[in-house]
Structure 1
């Protein structure tokens, strides 16, 4: 991905006092005790790293726990400890840690209060990303796209509003969705977890959020320096959540684990600041109308409503570019009210004969398959009329791969002939006939 330094993104300021974290002393203390217990930590530096708090503030937290007789110094510096004093949980501290773990197994990085996170979301909104034509081309240059399509896509992506890509299968809707994701290209700050009403909701997901390790110098130094930004956040690429036929409505709600009594953020929340791609809309078990209804409030209002196990509902930011992709006509999936709420509706048509030949030649060159005039004429004059001369972008890859496989099997150099094309074509469609059982 073409990565850009976060010049336009305001870094979350590091807390200078414990009060600056926005969390209660009791919550921070209990998470620290649980972390010490679960990870067997005894030095302030390792505790600070684990709970993502600065060394001075972690020292203050340890001193508070010492005053409450939950933590005790091990008395002397021992071999291997360097110049650091070692601490351990007292019996009362272990008891408190176990009690806290029985309420929630969460330990590790201190959470960011939801209200603070909302401010950070505004500072790094996906709506602030300005997509230029050059940037779109740079990330979609491998696709043969009509100029009019780029003219539609550019404003759609820059708006940060919902997009519906529709049209016949095999013409690059998924590839275009990925190109949109790559064109965003900058980095944002993602908290390990957020806090609401005393509950911790894990937000960072290594499957969705890619940590930035190879960003430009100023970004790298930003990450390395302790006091440059709040360590409860991670510097990541703008996230992408991509789902297909497996998407279920409950994936858009908080995931509560009753055994560990912990919450995982919904897919929608994980996509904050990035892109949520719903591929193959209409192939899910859930009716498309039900799925789109779930998105109506977030897309229009800019916030989503989630619920805790207690039933308490609360608002979380919805700052996400939603891209729907379908092979069905939109009128077959949604009512007019739902369609009206999708801001951009862009048809991705199959290529013309000229565009298809460009794609075919480009694929052949990439796969080292020499073009053959007789085979091309046979394909255009004999085969395509059997399917009403309807071209699809995937045909080139499919047919050339089939011919290459046949050449490899026969132990001959890559080449194309009308006969090889006929064999490849026979695998592209199934024979339309009744099978007698």
Structure 2
């Protein structure tokens, strides 16, 4: 039965073993490893550990008993409603150790890749409709040119790639975060997925923010109509990378000791946003990075490789936001630019918008505006840099003046002298240093 939760259809919980669509041996081994590693002996404890309903766990246990890998203890636990306990036989322990030598993964049963694809479609980033009201609300703390939302709105709603470019310090990163905040709904993230008998962990508490009503596995499994607890209900994910991004971070991460896989960043961001900040500052060239994204951006699928070299397709359902201080023609060829769906220039503010931002910042920091100081700033200081305004400058200048006032032990205030001292720290004097 499909369930509608926060406008995203929840994955239905499996009712029988045949609905799992996983290799039988894999399920059996994960159960044995989980019992062995976590020292569990009750079905009611194994159910939340494996994130499976009790009837499905019982079917796997019955299979293990038939294979003489497990046996009933013959005692009833009064604290668990006289529930029967189980233990591994010597053969079961030996099988658990063999399975752990092949892969240390245990716990939540993985979701087959093909089943996960269906859930990705149900909660696709391209299904969302971001309204002007939502976008304005998420960007309310920013002073933006009136036509910028006209460009951003369709780009976000399309769920396609966006390139934001322009001079540094004008809020490209803040706008990227505003796009993330505008999404507002939740998606279901698998704890792990399975392909060709290999388990790949996807849920990452560093990337994925739990929805407030997620709850724990045990509570959710006791609901009348639980969703599949192999998934975690989260805010739409956001992955932000900067100068540290390299091509290897977009490959499966293999742990040779544990013999387990972890999903790459773009797979963790499925259903959400992948922000590549400061494009052009990475060790890899921007052209090389975008070339890596060409197939995913065009075909909504990515290609990953196992340690064996076998390649396979995974869904690519991510709004990719590239942000750079370079002009696009300097870092991309025309073929790459064609593949980025929206290109939006983020310029510095006009003088009027600069003053609005300055006033907002000053009010927030408890500093009264001073007409003489503002006139001095606009008529004397800014002409020295050809009256080029940037969104970061009001915060920088006000913070500098606050720091100076605190040091001098005077009330927070704005004067031409304090403007001079703040300005001196905003730009480094061009001079030759003798080494």
1:286 corresponding residue in structure 2: 284
Describe the SS at the equivalent of 2:395.
Answer: helix
Matches within 5 A, 1:68-87: 68-77=67-76, 80=79, 82-87=81-86
Deviations 1:342-390 (A, max 9, x none): 0000000000111100000010011110101110011001100110100
Show the counterpart of 2:16: 17
Query: Which runs of 5 or more residues in structure 2 are unaligned?
Result: none
| SS of equivalent to 2:369 | coil
Residues 369 and 138 of structure 1: CA distance in aligned 2, closer, same or farther (over 3 Å): same
User: Alpha-carbon deviations, 1:188-232, whole Å to 9, x = none?
Assistant: 1111110000000001111111111258x9xxx978726432111
- Structure 2 residue 22 is matched with structure 1 residue 32: no
Q: CA deviation at 1:128?
A: 0.4
Give the gaps of 5 or more residues in structure 1: none
2:382 corresponds to which residue?
384
Q: Which residue pairs with 2:346 in the alignment? A: 348
Give the Cα–Cα distance (whole angstroms) in 1 for the partners of residues 178 and 405 of structure 2.
33
Secondary structure class of the residue paired with 2:133: helix
- TM-score, normalised via structure 1 length: 0.96
What displacement does 1:6 show? 3.5
Determine the C-alpha separation between the residues in 2 that align with 1:291 and 1:164. 13
Mean Cα deviation higher: 281-290 or 74-83: 74-83
Task: Quote the Cα distance in structure 2 between the aligned partners of 1:223 and 1:377.
Answer: 65
How many Å apart are 1:35 and its aligned residue?
0.6
Which deviates further from its counterpart, 347-356 or 405-414?
405-414
Aligned to 1:210: 209
Residues 239 and 272 in structure 1, CA contact (< 8 A), matched pair in contact too? yes
Equivalent position of 1:52 in the other structure: 51
The whole-number CA distance in structure 2 between the counterparts of 1:306 and 1:214 is: 33
Report what 1:403 is aligned to: 401
**Cα distance, 1:76 vs. partner?**
1.5
State the shift of 1:84 in Å.
2.0
C-alpha deviations, 1:109-137, integer Å up to 9, x for none? Answer: 10111011111101110000001100000
Q: Deviation at 1:85?
A: 1.9
CA distance in 1, matches of 2:424, 2:343: 35
1:82 positional shift: 4.9
Partner of 2:168: 169
Q: What SS does the aligned partner of 1:346 have?
A: strand
Q: In structure 1, how many angstroms separate the alpha carbons of the residues matched to 2:77 and 2:124?
A: 49
CA contact (8 A) 2:15 2:55 kept: no
Structure 2 contact 13–226 (Cα < 8 Å) conserved: yes
Residue by residue, what CA displacement relative to the aligned partner does 1:48-107 show, whole Å, maximum 9, x if unpaired? 110111011111211211121111222223575552222111111110000001111100
Equivalent of residue 271 in structure 1, options 264, 269, 286:
269
TM-score (ref. length: structure 2):
0.96
